[in-house]
Amino acid sequence: MGAFDFDVIQRALPFMWKGLQFSVQLTLVAMAGGIVLGTLLAMMRLSSHKLLNLPAAVYVNGIRSIPLVLVIFWFYFLVPLILQSVMGASSPVHVGAEKSALITFILFQAAYYSEIMRAGIQSVSRGQVSAAYALGLTYFQSMGQVVLPQAFRNMIPILLTQTIVLFQDTSLVYVLSITDLLGAAVKTAQRDGRLIEMYLFVALIYFILSYTLSELVKRLQTKVAVIR
């Protein structure tokens, strides 16, 4: 091991900045898509209709019992085939690793967010739903205007904590050779032969970002707590 080379880090900064932008973009898109889809899944699971709750339960439990790496490979393989049959194309539709990763993370995170939203919906007292129905609201009106706003508020800290986990998980797109934050560091490390500097530096960036975010979530938690 030679002397620690700070120069290599400095030269890699613009490239890593690009990688970080992709990581953040992937995190935000997966969070937005995952929460919307996850809320729908949670509503399906809480429905008394077998045709709605069974598929949702199978999907959520299935996704949650296999590793994210395997899910990434699954969708990388499946997405072109699904698009082919949806669009009626004659051969599998190539979407590229980046788009495939976006779709994968939305669908994967939906399973995790749905468990959080399910707990959130259940945390709203029964009386609220009864009151909404008594006022003559339909299912979707009572969900949209009474239950979900409270469920979201109760679950904001947990949803955000899950998003920090998601941000860390995005590093796994490395297996598709995508240039995210980690991908940029690995590529630089291998090109310049400076593994130690790059790996320690990227670990430091992840640590600072995740730690700062989780401290902010902790502070938020005391602020949004609903007094009952």
**Cβ neighbours of residue 164 closer than 8 Å, sequence gap 6 or more:** 210, 213, 214, 217
Q: Does 210 participate in binding another protein (rule CB under 8 A)? A: yes
Min separation Cβ 9 and another protein, Å: 14
Which residues in 8-23 are b (16+ Cβ under 10 Å) and which e?
A: bbeebeebbeebbebb
Q: How far is the CB of 79 from another protein (least distance, A)?
A: 12
Positive or negative torsion for Cα 190, 209, 211, 72? negative
CA-to-CA distance for 73 and 104, rounded, in angstroms? 9
State which of positions 130-169 bind another protein (CB under 8 A): 168-169
Q: Which amino acid is at 158?
A: I
Total binding residues toward another protein, as defined by CB under 8 A: 33
Q: Which of residues 57-86 bind another protein (CB under 8 A)?
A: 62, 65-70, 73-74, 77, 81, 84-85
Q: Does 119 bind another protein (CB under 8 A)?
A: no
Residues that bind another protein (CB under 8 A): 1, 62, 65-70, 73-74, 77, 81, 84-85, 168-169, 171-172, 174-175, 182, 186, 195-196, 199-200, 202-203, 206-207, 210-211, 214
